Copies of this chain bind each other. A is one copy, B any other.
């Protein structure tokens, strides 16, 4: 019996962090991509014992030179043919630029057939108003955005890139418009939109847009119930699923995979965009995995005594909150169809 996969043969270069234990960065992205049928080249930008949310970790970063060197290794053996590239956390501006140079080179290599290379860039810089990378990473990402096909900033990262303060749907639309216009970014997904940061939200919204030929936004949104816990690795899983579901949706649209950056014709309405179909399926999987993780986390925490010491309590909670994916594969393969894109 042949296995069924949502995408045709797809070779992806995934550049992100590696943790020995737990499920963030490439540790979760590679498994998601492989489970959905992609041949993944995994270039790890760090090897840490665990994610930094624990408050303590061991291990080391991979330098910008080593990143470049690993790519040269692929190149010299003709292993640098990729349909797609996914980039996540990269430690420091020099390494961001090294990864950017790889993406530019892969883009240049596809000059004769630009539709054959698609870069999904997750500009990992911060969240909830706080930058958690070095300051010079922000301009480094700004200089790379014009080379990406699809970016997935969260609300705060969208502000950093667009330099538009997002406080409501109107300013969010301005930010998206700026990103399309200033950086020519074809596809934008703003993850976890929340205009009222003072109270925990009951629902979260993802906003997406594929630009028209005149760089106008075609905006849609998808709203889903919030889960009252932060799970590290959520963004990495979202990005990996986006790679697969975008390729799937484009592949299902006759002729679109021959168009550079897979930009739908101007006649296509926002709600009919392949990007909208992709994000619907991504959220279908995400919501199910997060719900299961939340339930299993509560169960795990009920079984133990949370230490009084704040640091120890953080360790116990971080461990309990690791994404539960490996034994919940059906969430990936058969995403729920509960979430539909609507007009903003």
Contacts and interface: CB of A to CB of B under 8 A. Distances in A.
Interface of A: 1-3, 5, 9, 18, 20-22, 27, 30-31, 34-35, 37-44, 47-50, 54, 56-60, 62, 66, 69-74, 76-79, 315-316, 318-319, 326-330
A5 B325 CA distance: 13
A47 B61 CA distance: 12
A70 B69 CA distance: 23
B73 A47 contact: no
A155 B315 CA distance: 45
A141 to B, nearest CB: 23
B3 A330 contact: yes
B31 A48 contact: no
A73 B59 CA distance: 8
5 contacts: A20-B42, A20-B73, A49-B74, A58-B70, A77-B318
Contact of A47 (B3, B70, B72): B70
Given A326-B38, A327-B3, A50 B74 contact: yes
Contacts of A58: 69-70, 72-73, 76
Contacts of A18: 18, 42, 44
